[in-house]
Copies of this chain bind each other. A is one copy, B any other.
């Protein structure tokens, strides 16, 4: 049997619906159609009245989720693409995110954002928006990189009493496969060592984990062992695991598919330099997407985001500093 990252997301929702009557799914085309990416396929038939088609109203979708959460439900909202979450932004960052702090009433909602670039996606179907959500207090931001985490973390997201932005990467939907679903997983908030190494720590998350793993093989051919930290959640951010890795390697490269200004990679570097400056043997470096919208043509797209090749170059340059 082989299970894709997308299957895992569907299975996690199936299980959440099965195990917890408080769970429901609300989003455009999630019902009988099963969602634009089929992440909710068959669920409407299996759980009548609990997988609900929404009008094209992202603000009202999130607003309704907040209200349902107040009444004790655990809604999962599917945005059709992460890029469209910008029109539901206000309810997310100003309403869901502040509810617990303002009132003491928790707001357990999960908002799934099909994120990241795919070939031919273009500027409005490719965005990685984790940074803007992580900037706001009161939100947990998850960025699973593996089939196992797609499953386990989505189940955790639904179980957590706070709003979770669940950034699932569209490129991984079909590309990533595992042989079975996990029965247990790392606690939320803990990063994972995706590859052990001694010469350089690469901190990354989501689809870039795989580019970095491939790049690490290139570096191995040059005689270097690169350690790769998969952050899993970017807020909270597991500084301890990152610092412990840097303590072993003395070098830090942060890689992200999002735009460069002020994102995950900047945050990681600011933390590591503040807390573990003396462990660094070389300047910490970043590699992000270019600071333009995400281009449509595959040639441009491949150059816009980091790839195994560009990551390998960055690794080797930093290793040789």
Residues of B within 8 A of A291 (CB): 137
Interface string of A219-259 (1 = CB under 8 A from B): 00000000000000001010000000000000000000011
User: Whole-angstrom distance from the CB of A88 to the nearest CB of chain B?
Assistant: 9
| Residue in chain B with minimal CB distance to A275 | B283
In this complex, the interface size class of chain A, counting residues with CB under 8 Å from chain B, is 35 or more
**Beta-carbon contact of B135 and A123 below 8 Å:** no
A310 within 8 A of B: no
A174 within 8 A of B: no
Residues of B within 8 A of A59 (CB): 87
Partner of A273, one of B102, B267, B283: B283
Residues of B within 8 A of A138 (CB): 292-293
**Beta-carbon contact of B277 and A282 below 8 Å:** yes
**Beta-carbon contact of A137 and B292 below 8 Å:** yes
**Beta-carbon contact of B137 and A259 below 8 Å:** yes
A262 within 8 A of B: yes
Q: Report the separation of the CA atoms of residues A258 and B261 in the bound assembly, to the nearest whole angstrom.
A: 15
Q: Report the separation of the CA atoms of residues A262 and B134 in the bound assembly, to the nearest whole angstrom.
A: 8
Residues of B within 8 A of A83 (CB): 94
A42 within 8 A of B: no
Residues of B within 8 A of A282 (CB): 277
**Beta-carbon contact of B259 and A135 below 8 Å:** yes
Residues of B within 8 A of A136 (CB): 259
Q: Which of A134, A269, A270 has the most CB of B within 10 A?
A: A270
Q: Report the separation of the CA atoms of residues A262 and B135 in the bound assembly, to the nearest whole angstrom.
A: 6
| Residue in chain B with minimal CB distance to A291 | B137
Q: Report the separation of the CA atoms of residues A94 and B82 in the bound assembly, to the nearest whole angstrom.
A: 12
Partner of A270, one of B90, B93, B235, B286: B286
Residues of A within 8 A of B (CB): 59, 83, 86-87, 89-90, 93-94, 97-98, 101-102, 123-124, 131-132, 134-138, 235, 237, 258-259, 261-267, 269-270, 273-275, 277-278, 280, 282-286, 290-293
Given contact pairs A135-B135, A277-B284, enumerate 7 new A-B contacts (beta carbons under 8 Å). A101-B292, A134-B262, A135-B258, A135-B259, A235-B261, A266-B267, A270-B286
